[in-house]
């Protein structure tokens, strides 16, 4: 009986929780994208972007390593965005704010010496040498 009671309380608390929304500040950054789960228990998953770029432009390998070891707002699971996630950042750049009119790195490799980037003044995607020094905006998944 007691276990049944706690199950009802947990279910009630889950139903009462405010659903997350794009643009909310959550878990160390701003929610850029939310994907709804198809399971019976409502779960939200998505992408959170850091509120600002990393300080200096850097090479692809430095950007990847820096994001992988970054601790920001108490979270240690930051990453360089994939090509697809970087485009989500571009599409939401006005609400996120703080982007430069510059190229940003994605984690998506093209060949051993190149990777995908995206220009944030017009949204065009490019393949760049991994030695190029570009801007970086870390993300994390939730």
CATH no. of 20-141? 3.10.100
pTM of the model: 0.82
140: exposed, middle or buried (Cβ count in 10 Å: 0-12, 13-18, 19+): buried
Each domain of the chain, given as residue ranges in start order, spans 20-141
- Residue 42, pLDDT score: 64
Q: Which residue has the higher pLDDT, 85 or 1?
A: 85
103-120 residue pLDDT tens? 999 999 999 999 999 999
Ranges of H-type helices in 34-132: 60-69, 83-91, 93-96
* Mean pLDDT of all residues in 86-115: 96
46: which residues sit within 8 A by CB, 6+ positions away?
20, 31, 32, 33, 34, 35, 141, 142
Q: Taking the CB of residue 100, how many other CB atoms lie within 10 A of it?
A: 13
Paired with 87 in beta bridges are none
């Amino acid at each position: 009986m007691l276990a049944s009671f706690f199950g009802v309380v947990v279910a009630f608390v889950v139903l009462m929780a405010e659903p997350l929304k794009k643009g909310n500040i959550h878990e160390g950054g701003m929610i850029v994208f939310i994907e709804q789960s198809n399971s019976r228990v409502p779960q939200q998953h998505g992408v959170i972007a850091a509120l600002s770029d990393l300080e200096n432009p850097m090479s692809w390998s430095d950007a990847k390593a820096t994001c992988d070891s970054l601790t920001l707002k108490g979270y240690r699971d930051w990453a360089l965005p994939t090509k697809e996630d970087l485009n989500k950042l571009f599409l939401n750049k006005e609400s996120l704010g703080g982007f430069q009119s510059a190229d940003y790195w994605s984690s998506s490799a093209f060949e051993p010496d190149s990777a995908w980037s995206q220009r944030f003044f017009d949204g065009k995607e490019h393949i760049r040498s991994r030695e190029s020094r570009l801007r970086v905006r870390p993300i994390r998944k939730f």
